Structure 1
């Protein structure tokens, strides 16, 4: 029977390829400013950002543009009716992406990266917070469920993965019995189902220019998060933007293992102050240290 589940999980094999030789790390690092650290510790809360409103304007569009290009090339020698369906899929992808937009919390595989200190240390002391990633993924212990994904930067690998997925989708579509009448309602369901499968992959892509960040991200989605919590708002360079509070529901504190003070002319003093701050808010057992990377301010 052909229904809206016809393409379900068709992205699984492609996504699984990205995990080969990439074991899930048990610890990852979140870089933040002094104000960011203060907010996390005092509220026992992680702020998840809506990727649509992040400062990096390419955050949500890089993968979409790449997909459109690969799909156009793939369909170049196909019949006109199939090309027309491909164009409808591009439109559906944009619609579905707005509903299933990624809600993310960014971390890095490395604790002490110069480029991250530069990004977060303008005029203030930055910090790198080490999180226990296994704990963060326990869906029954936090405000809403998330999954962890390694960001893929290499453009040729992104192209390879998209081509592999598009070929799998195309073959699955060809498996629909010839002559079967597809209603407009079913057609819409199938297009949306395909768009969802594509987005599972695209939300792991990022512009190669950011490869030095070595990013992993915790991801949820706008339509999913809405079942569990409402957005709050903060100011940014874009104006007033939404964020989502991710709280532990079975613990008084977050699974923080350590905090590293970023490059500072007064590293030792900054570290001593950090220890007092953590202890005052229930994180007295968290290890601290400071970076010795030289950095000009």
Structure 2
């Protein structure tokens, strides 16, 4: 069985078991709210280069214009890691002997996402991989975009005045007969870039090997919880209601009372209908109390 791991606190563990759900947080309220902006910025830079090319100028301009209007107000994500019992995660999310690492069956997560119009995606840490993913979306859109009435080679063979005449007629076509197709393709490309955006992480965090459940404009109710200094919007993903056995492992983080902490977790899990054998203690020799 292949698992993905979700690090949480005592309150988080009890909440997940009692509601049979995990939180999926609005992307604007993540620990690093600038993460999702990188894909959009890469898209703008590529649009700028296309705008500087007479042949693809109109596509570049329309893409850049649409990206300027693009927001991620309705983008929600939930985070997991390929790595269980990871020191950096205990430090970051489960301070003071107050942490648990919950292992979820990857196939069960994928099934849940497929049934609810969501995606389970692996984060990209390498800069070249990030650029490549953005370029692939833009290249696909450009291939589908209403084409100039001649090849690039033919266009490049024209004098400047002839080029202008061709471009004026082409732009008129895009504003009339080809308007719907052009707008649809540009809009789709921007939506794909928005949904790609939460997969981008700084290379310095590659150790986390993070995966994310991603959903854009969810149909379920938006809920709110108190944050460090502001209210945080989120939605609830009833993963354990969908499949109780999606939860397949619980690791008790480093704790000043490790035996008691594990025994308590076993009692809590049994009360929730799980076999206590899925509980084990962290192997990390870390003392921070």
TM-score, normalised on structure 1? 0.78
Question: Could you tell me how far 1:202 is from its partner in structure 2?
Answer: 3.2
1:115 paired residue among 85, 88, 91? 88
Distance in 2 (CA, whole Å) between partners of 1:214 and 1:141 is: 22
Aligned: 1:57 with 2:33: yes
CA RMSD of superposed structures (Å): 2.8
> 1:271 — aligned with what?
262
> 1:129 — aligned with what?
102
2:50 paired residue among 53, 66, 75? 75
158-167 or 103-112: bigger deviation = 158-167
- 8 Å contact from structure 2 (residues 50, 59) kept in 1: no
Larger Rg: 2
> 1:34 — aligned with what?
10
1:166-214 deviations in Å (ceiling 9; x for gaps): 3343343364656562236524333212212333433422222322211
Distance in 2 (CA, whole Å) between partners of 1:249 and 1:283 is: 12
Counterpart secondary structure, 2:139: helix
2:199 paired residue among 204, 213, 216? 204
- 8 Å contact from structure 1 (residues 33, 124) kept in 2: no
Aligned: 1:98 with 2:72: yes
Distance in 2 (CA, whole Å) between partners of 1:137 and 1:177 is: 44
> 1:154 — aligned with what?
126
Question: Could you tell me how far 1:90 is from its partner in structure 2?
Answer: 2.8
Task: From the two aligned structures, give the one with the greater helix fraction.
Answer: 2
1:92-146 deviations in Å (ceiling 9; x for gaps): 23544436x431111000111111000112234211000012122224996x332
> 2:183 — aligned with what?
188
Structure 1's 105 and 173: CA in aligned 2 closer, same or farther, altered over 3 A?
A: same
Distance in 2 (CA, whole Å) between partners of 1:215 and 1:40 is: 20
Distance in 2 (CA, whole Å) between partners of 1:159 and 1:38 is: 40
- 8 Å contact from structure 2 (residues 84, 101) kept in 1: yes
Structure 1's 271 and 156: CA in aligned 2 closer, same or farther, altered over 3 A?
A: same
**Unpaired segments of 5 or more residues in structure 2?**
151-168
Aligned: 1:213 with 2:208: yes
Matches within 5 A, 1:234-245: 234-245=225-236
- 8 Å contact from structure 1 (residues 31, 126) kept in 2: yes
Question: How many equivalent pairs are there?
Answer: 265
